[in-house]
Amino acid sequence: MTQPGYETIDVRPLSPAVGAEIRGVDLAGDLGNAQFAEIRRAFHEHGAVFFREQRLTPEQHVAFARRFGPINVNRFFQPVDGHPEIAEVRKEPHHKRNIGAGWHTDHSYDAAPALGSMLYAHEVPDCGGDTLFASMEAAFAALSPRMQDMLRGMRALHSSRHVFGARRYQDEPQEYAGRLGNPELATQDAVHPVVIHHPQTGREVLYVNPGFTVRFDGWTEAESRPLLGFLYRHAAHPSFTCRFRWEVGSIALWDNRSTWHMALNDYPGKRRYMHRVTIDGSPLA
Ligand code: SIN
């Protein structure tokens, strides 16, 4: 159902906690400031926004992303030929593994984590390959006040090493050849507050994720595991999530500060090919 309060776009929430489809916009056209401001408002309100039936050149894709902030050139993903700012998210019929399979937040291992990511579908399986999103604002709000207070005083270490470092490629190098690379660049570690204030909305957000968070600052990994495990189970509860079904021409833009996402790997033997542009963010507090 259309959400009231927007004049230049049609906003349809996918779930109460996260995600909204935006209709009535041609991203290849001349997007005026008023319409762009409403898209950005919906993005902050819903954490992830989705567009359908778009036809963008790589230049138009990058130009739309750049309206949100500078582009972050990905170190590990295969770039699109001639477009270093665009990363390929690709699974061929012979691949077993997809990219982004578990719940995670892009770039939480960076000192200034990415603001958001914009994924554009070029080829999708006839069914399967959906992406799930989860609101870390809703997850935090649903914790008990005592737990919230404890987490507010904590920080956590995030790392790229175990995900993009050399060990990932040891067992199945053929799975990732031509898709992910540069393991020697996986040296980023960063410590962030466990509860951040969203840089734009000021709202509190739980900022740990199963993909990249290694442990709480000052705690061992073994000590951290039970509490992280509880937070991960809590935050992945279906009531904080939505599910987006892709079509060719769909675009998803998600906020990497306030959401997790996870790409389902349920389409063996099929091709899925997307272009991702990542938008730079700022240090979190
Ligand atoms: C990603 O994690 O960036 C990829 C998400 C997807 O392919 O749906």
- pLDDT tens-digit profile, the chain (285 residues): 789 999 999 999 999 999 999 999 999 998 999 999 999 999 999 999 999 999 999 999 999 999 999 999 999 999 999 999 999 999 999 999 999 999 999 999 999 999 999 999 999 999 999 999 999 999 999 999 999 999 999 999 999 999 999 988 888 889 999 999 999 999 999 999 999 999 999 999 999 999 999 999 999 999 999 999 999 999 999 999 999 999 999 999 999 999 999 999 999 999 999 999 999 999 999
Q: Pick the catalytic residue: 46, 61, 95, 106?
A: 106
H-helix or E-strand containing 64? helix 58-66
Report the b/e string of 140-156 with b at 16+ CB within 10 A: bebbeeeeeeebeebeb
- Ligand 1 mean position to 132 CA, how many Å? 9
Contact predicate 183/173, CB 8 Å: no
106 included as an active-site residue: yes
171 included as an active-site residue: no
pTM passes above 0.85:
yes
Distance between alpha carbon 4 and the CA centroid of its chain, in Å? 26
Which architecture, in CATH terms, is 10-279? 4-Layer Sandwich (3.60)
- Ligand 1 mean position to 99 CA, how many Å? 6
- Ligand 1 mean position to 220 CA, how many Å? 30
**Nearest protein Cα to ligand 1, atom 7:** 263
The atom number, within ligand 1, closest to the CA of 264 reads: 8
